[in-house]
Amino acid sequence: MFDEAMGGDSWMFSRALVAKCREAFEGLSSLVDVGGSTGDTAKVIAEAFPGIHCTVFDLPHVVAAAAASTEETLGSNLSYVAGDMLTDDIPQADALFFKWVLIDWPDEPCLKVLKQCKKALSNSNGGKGKVMIVDHVMGHESCSDKSSMGTSLLFDLGVMACLEGYVRTEEQWAKLFSDAGFSDYTITPVAGLRLLIQVYP
């Protein structure tokens, strides 16, 4: 049920993402959706950009269920890889994409994953790869009105209560990126409280 709910959100959100942020995907030839669940985001990206090979990377039981249910619709530029981002190598690609994944985790595992990403990007696209993160940024100027802040705080409580993560401010994201060895980042509003953060080596 959880994976289906995530898939439903991705089905809607990803269409807004590829329409609003086309230039973020241009020039990429490969992308790994880390924690990509059912692959609903990767399917939209793969369809919108046939030149990008998209790989969904998630835990073995998630990949087994997702790949089996979409076998007949798998395009030539979409594949699934089972693995654990905390202990296995993340596949190399021009872009390593995370939607609603890092928010679930405290800083230490996020730092470990981002350091892994730096390694997985180093040989891709002449060293010009990037990490793409779709997530919340607490208090960002695009969503700092009272009602958005209220929703962000409620979300923050939810992830803290159910998991170990939290909604990061821009300063907290920036510290993670610099501690992981990245040199720069940009933030682009996409839809409501979700923004696209692009992180560069």
C-alpha 45/C-alpha 15 separation (Å) is 8
Which listed range, 69-77, 100-108, 125-133, 147-155, lies at the site for ligand SAM (CB under 6 A)?
Answer: 100-108
At closest approach, how far in Å is the CB of 186 from ligand SAM? 20
- Among the listed ranges 22-30, 35-43, 123-131, 172-180, the one in contact with ligand SAM (CB under 6 A) is 35-43
Q: How far is CA 118 from CA 33, 74, 98, 133, in A?
A: 15, 29, 14, 14
Q: With CB under 6 A, what is the number of residues at the site for ligand SAM?
A: 16
- Tell which positions 102-161 bind ligand SAM, by CB under 6 A: 104
Between the two ends of the chain, the Cα-to-Cα distance in Å is 36
> In whole angstroms, how close is the CB of 109 to ligand SAM at the nearest point?
8
For 194, phi then psi, to 5°, come to: -100, 130
Contact between 175 and 110 (Cβ < 8 Å)? no
Q: How does DSSP classify residue 22?
A: H
Which 50-89 positions form the footprint of ligand SAM (CB under 6 A)?
58-59, 62, 84-86
Residues at the contact surface with ligand SAM, assessed by CB under 6 A: 6, 9-10, 35-37, 58-59, 62, 84-86, 99-101, 104
